[in-house]
Structure 1
């Protein structure tokens, strides 16, 4: 995005700066291209401008998690037991993975092409013959190297497979010459060699390799390729300027370049192909050569430092600009620490895959298929499609058996909803059963439990039969079942609460709809706790139907503000929770 912002301005500046020294223009393009991967590191500076573009969300390339939650989720992965099978979409490809896959394929394709070109260059190098010491070209070549104050004289090689001179090599540069090169007039040879030596003096080959790697990374951005092409042209113009500064007439040097298009040189010798050999690029070089008003000054160390300072004035503001599909950063608030509030998943983030626990207990959950949506009444909330959408929640240490507890949640079921599983304490082996565990050297039966929306069929043993419906219910395996007498309405937000109050060896269940107590119907009037214990799991599930009453029947509709208390809330306190005040004092 930053490249798309900066490169058009730079390319426009290059277009209008025809009289500016090509060395300066080339350095500008080099600095811009090299700095593009570095600009994201300036995003953390205090002064920052964010440009919001909502359509960028479809790319999947922008982080949509709270950094602290993502770090916590990474360091504390959900403890999924081997026996718990997590449902998920068959297609695990996210938008981000698709885009990354396409980028990777493109980058590999461009890399293969460049490696193939490099291999051909190495093959040409290996088939070349070094010029002999008594060659007249070698004598002239050494004089040119001394005039440019080159510390190391490049190798000079002849190759029968090439039509024009080519400069190659990074650690040890070499110039490949066509076999007919000695047949050219001395003046033409000097102009050509001077041009190639300037490439070596400027270190154009290693810089070109850096830009080549950069172009492979940004292969999808045509502006990067246009800037790279403009840079190549400015590099050639800079080397042309070196020839003209040496005193060679522009007309004669132009003849050498023009001959490469005609396929020959003055005197009938074969043509010399320039590094930029297309007619359009040669036309641009010819126009630059004959311009009398153009500056041809080279870059000195002092002018390079000044230019770098001016460049920082351009690139730092660019680095302070960031793009995002989101107008604000994700955040969530912790409620006031409240005794008995074990977990509070408010479902208000609006994006991301992590569900924050606002109680301070760090029982953060994960979304599996459930989608963020915005409701006119409740604002941000989660939507479940009733097929595979569910939540995995890091379970608080809330007892569902020996201690009083309260579950409260806002629901808005879809039209035609048949209820389904809500909050499950159990595994996902599709077997609603008890198990034997050992505690203090005695065997204790462990039972699964689930809070759900189920039907209104009652009778002995009915808690073991499938029963779709819209009544808030609680199935306590091996002990009993309880249901609200009045059903929940479709397409309406309803606040549901279930209060569990153990008393000695039995327990009572009380249901609330929109803060009002609803008659509870029991399969077993007094739920006998006996030796039953909670199903041992570190994960709770929301949205999946596991109990025999709703087996395979998953919830469909909207959900908001799921709260868990390790105390039995009073009716007045349930109404406070409805209003969004979770700091409930006292219990009974």
Structure 2
């Protein structure tokens, strides 16, 4: 029960911090959102740390602590059932990606291979990324934690070279930033705290911020913002994507992305992100290691936690009763 309350308080704090940062810049560094989700994931382990007990004189005492045990067991069962359900959804998505890859074919287009090499060199990406073409792919996306693959629709052969470069630069940006692992970590946080809408909101916010970051990389590489915004609109007509994938025209709000691309807003200050992360981590440690307990004086006070004879009779009456003869002789 303490883990449930701690996670709720921490997610509320993280949500407020991310929301405030987002009002200043919707594309604020995703490190803040990712750090909040990772802290929530580590919260069950943090509860194993040695506790620091703080005495509180105003804490109410429970008359029957064991009375709520069935309720706690029921909550634990529901929690575990939800975790199993959402974990199975991740496995189903991975199975769908494996089937999707089996139905696709490696690209043999020399132009695509050349542009891929140019974009990889420009990003300093040394990992090998494959290009597959799928007949049913509606929009380009990248998937694969250990062997990333960029999936392109069949119409990619008719794209102009600049459009192809923008698409590959964006998808390679996800690989260079390890956004696929970031997405997996966020989904794991949603598995553990599936009942908390704030955690789902943080994951959605993180996906949006990752898309903003990759858009910024494409613009920084010399792409014309207007041309890139036009390409986003053309490719975003279809958006049926696996949950484990990252795409150029993915789940992030398209209008917000286009507005940011056109305006080319500057990045936020790293100090703000670091300070917010420090506050979130400090709060999680405080919620994990601090344990409140009633003060000893409150426990020994008359009428609180003590129903012995000393609280029912005065000292004089106790003395008379102890000296009295229970069965006097006549």
1:28/1:48 Cα in 2 relative to 1: closer, same or farther (>3 Å)? farther
Query: Which stretches of structure 1, 4 residues or more, deviate above 6 A after TM superposition?
Result: 45-50
1:192/1:379 Cα in 2 relative to 1: closer, same or farther (>3 Å)? same
Residue among 232, 254, 275 paired with 1:282: 254
Q: CA deviation at 1:281?
A: 1.1
Q: CA deviation at 1:37?
A: 3.9
2:93 pairs with 1:117 = yes
1:95/1:41 Cα in 2 relative to 1: closer, same or farther (>3 Å)? closer
Give the match for residue 499 of structure 1. none
SS in 1 for 2:126: coil
Q: Distance in 1 between matches of 2:167 and 2:119?
A: 11
1:256/1:103 Cα in 2 relative to 1: closer, same or farther (>3 Å)? same
Identify unmatched segments of 5+ residues in structure 1: 66-88, 265-272, 333-347, 350-375, 383-408, 413-492, 496-511, 521-588
Q: CA deviation at 1:319?
A: 3.4
1:393-412 to structure 2, matched below 5 A, reads 410=309
1:365-404 to structure 2, matched below 5 A, reads 378-381=303-306
**Which moved further from structure 2: 162-171 or 252-261?**
252-261
Q: CA deviation at 1:231?
A: 0.6
Give the match for residue 26 of structure 1. 30
Cα-to-partner distance string for 1:479-527 (whole Å, 9 max, x where unaligned): xxxxxxxxxxxxxx589xxxxxxxxxxxxxxxx995444339xxxxxxx
Q: Distance in 2 between matches of 1:190 and 1:218?
A: 39
| Contact 1:42–1:319 (8 Å) recurs in 2 | no
Residue among 312, 326, 329 paired with 1:518: 326
| Contact 1:130–1:157 (8 Å) recurs in 2 | yes
Q: Distance in 1 between matches of 2:83 and 2:249?
A: 24
Q: Distance in 2 between matches of 1:181 and 1:94?
A: 59
Q: CA deviation at 1:236?
A: 0.3
Give the match for residue 317 of structure 1. 282
SS in 2 for 1:518: coil
Residue among 9, 15, 23 paired with 1:16: 23
2:199 pairs with 1:221 = no
1:180/1:330 Cα in 2 relative to 1: closer, same or farther (>3 Å)? farther
- Which protein is bigger by CA-based radius of gyration? 1
Cα-to-partner distance string for 1:143-177 (whole Å, 9 max, x where unaligned): 11111121122011111121111211112211111
If asked which structure has higher relative contact order (CA below 8 Å, sep 6+), I would say: 2
Q: Distance in 2 between matches of 1:185 and 1:310?
A: 44
1:207/1:514 Cα in 2 relative to 1: closer, same or farther (>3 Å)? farther
1:203-218 to structure 2, matched below 5 A, reads 203-218=178-193
Cα-to-partner distance string for 1:358-389 (whole Å, 9 max, x where unaligned): xxxxxxxxxxxxxxxxxx9643257xxxxxxx
Cα-to-partner distance string for 1:46-94 (whole Å, 9 max, x where unaligned): 79899x997xx9xx9xxx79xxxxxxxxxxxxxxxxxxxxxxx9xx962
Q: Distance in 1 between matches of 2:59 and 2:253?
A: 37
Q: Distance in 2 between matches of 1:328 and 1:196?
A: 53
Q: CA deviation at 1:259?
A: 2.1
Identify unmatched segments of 5+ residues in structure 2: 1-7, 240-245
Give the match for residue 173 of structure 2. 198
Q: Distance in 2 between matches of 1:240 and 1:205?
A: 16
Q: Distance in 2 between matches of 1:45 and 1:323?
A: 8
1:411/1:248 Cα in 2 relative to 1: closer, same or farther (>3 Å)? same
Higher helix share: 2
1:192/1:97 Cα in 2 relative to 1: closer, same or farther (>3 Å)? same
1:253/1:159 Cα in 2 relative to 1: closer, same or farther (>3 Å)? same
Q: CA deviation at 1:130?
A: 1.1
SS in 2 for 1:156: strand
1:462-541 to structure 2, matched below 5 A, reads 515=322, 516-519=324-327
Q: CA deviation at 1:198?
A: 0.3
Q: CA deviation at 1:317?
A: 3.5
Q: Distance in 2 between matches of 1:239 and 1:48?
A: 47
Q: Distance in 2 between matches of 1:5 and 1:281?
A: 23
State the number of aligned residues.
Answer: 304
1:29-428 to structure 2, matched below 5 A, reads 29-38=33-42, 40=46, 44=50, 94-132=70-108, 134-262=109-237, 274=247, 277-278=250-251, 281-292=253-264, 294-295=265-266, 310-311=275-276, 313-319=278-284, 321-322=286-287, 328-329=293-294, 378-381=303-306, 410=309
Q: CA deviation at 1:230?
A: 0.5
Q: CA RMSD in A?
A: 4.1
Q: CA deviation at 1:127?
A: 1.7
1:53/1:118 Cα in 2 relative to 1: closer, same or farther (>3 Å)? farther
Q: Distance in 1 between matches of 2:168 and 2:90?
A: 26
Q: Distance in 2 between matches of 1:188 and 1:47?
A: 61
SS in 1 for 2:152: strand
1:146/1:4 Cα in 2 relative to 1: closer, same or farther (>3 Å)? closer
Q: TM (normalized to structure 2)? A: 0.76
Q: TM (normalized to structure 1)? A: 0.45
